[in-house]
């Protein structure tokens, strides 16, 4: 595989943890735990391959609002433990940790763990590891549009004037985030579930039945081979 056809940024919709656990007669949280292990495996492989950025959908705003409080609490506990357990690796490998989503409603311990990991890695540049937590794309676009309008108004410029679509980027949750080249969704559904709707305008989409806790290096290689075979045209004629 040559470097030129590697995606720069891969986004993951990590679906299927609950079904992975149910198949084994285990509680759903066990699926989430194994799902966290899968993130580490994939992260290591991404770095080995020379990919520079990865964004993982860990919790949607709809999950946060609609799932039983107990499952959400256990997921957020797992998040805290996971981030703390990764501190060494993030430091050693110079990985920058970033997050997108609305953090305000989260429990204080979760916010603190996110802040710790972000502060620890703010100066890192080798790889960006991003988690989407309590994230909803429609909300992000709405928040960004309002912030853009406010900025234009306070600059004395009408919001509708001189707006390029790309002007919105600076107001998204993480302005440094590049558009994903490849999006991988595990768990058998072919939908985006309110993930990165703006950023994925020209992203190659790869759907697999593999449940997230079973998604490993071999499955990642298949997704990257799929990416390498596609011709990206961005609306132009090739
Ligand atoms: C994805 O797995 C993880 C989260 C949404 C937090 P699910 O929990 O959605 O697992 P399934 O889809 O029920 O199998
Ligand atoms: C998408 O999975 C969200 C995450 C993986 C975090 P869901 O399981 O919430 O998606 P739907 O409900 O099947 O669309
Ligand atoms: Mg699901």
- Number of domains into which the chain is organized: 1
Q: Which of 13, 14, 15 to mutate to test the pocket of ligand 2 (most atoms within 8 A of CB)?
A: 15
Predicted TM-score (pTM) of this structure:
0.96
Give the model's confidence band at 155: pLDDT under 50 very low, under 70 low, under 90 confident, else very high.
confident
- CATH number, domain with residue 44: 3.40.1180.10
Give the model's confidence band at 2: pLDDT under 50 very low, under 70 low, under 90 confident, else very high.
very low
Q: Is residue 120 part of a domain?
A: yes
Contact criterion met (CB below 8 Å) for 36 and 78: yes
Q: Is residue 237 part of a domain?
A: no
Q: Is residue 63 part of a domain?
A: yes
The pLDDT tens digits for 171-183 are 999 999 999 999 9
- How does the average pLDDT of the chain come out, rounded? 95
DSSP for 35-92, please give it.
Answer: HHHHHHHHHHHHHHHT--EEEEEEEEHHHHHHS-HHHHHHHHHHHHHHHHHHHHHHHH
Closest protein CA for atom 7 of ligand 2: 15
Catalytic residues: 15, 63
Its domain, for residue 213, covers 3-135+180-228
Answer yes or no: is the C-beta of 13 below 6 A from any ligand 2 atom. Answer: yes
Which ligand 1 atom sits closest to the C-alpha of 59?
A: 6
CA 191 – ligand 2 centroid, Å: 9
Q: Is residue 151 part of a domain?
A: no
Contact criterion met (CB below 8 Å) for 107 and 136: no
């Amino acid at each position: 595989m040559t470097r030129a056809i590697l995606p720069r940024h891969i986004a993951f919709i990590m679906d299927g943890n609950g079904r992975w656990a149910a198949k084994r007669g285990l509680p759903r949280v066990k699926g989430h735990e194994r799902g966290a292990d899968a993130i580490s495996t994939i992260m290591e492989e991404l770095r080995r391959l020379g990919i520079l950025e990865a964004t993982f959908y860990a919790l949607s705003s709809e999950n946060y609002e609609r799932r039983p409080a107990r499952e959400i609490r256990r997921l957020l506990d797992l998040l805290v433990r996971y981030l703390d357990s990764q501190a060494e690796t993030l430091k050693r490998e110079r990985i920058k940790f970033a997050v997108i989503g609305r953090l305000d409603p989260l429990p204080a311990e979760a916010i603190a763990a996110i802040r710790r990991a972000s502060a620890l890695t703010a100066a890192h540049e080798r790889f960006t590891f991003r988690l989407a937590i309590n994230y909803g794309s429609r909300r992000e676009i709405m928040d960004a549009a309002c912030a853009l309008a406010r900025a234009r108004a306070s600059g004395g410029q009408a919001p509708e004037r001189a707006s390029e679509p790309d002007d919105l980027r600076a107001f998204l949750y993480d302005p440094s985030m590049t558009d994903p080249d490849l999006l991988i969704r595990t768990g058998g559904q072919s939908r985006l579930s309110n993930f990165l709707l703006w950023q994925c305008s020209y992203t190659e989409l790869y759907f697999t039945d593999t449940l997230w806790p079973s998604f490993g290096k071999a499955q990642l290689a298949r997704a990257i081979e799929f990416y390498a075979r596609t011709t990206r045209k961005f609306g132009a004629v090739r």
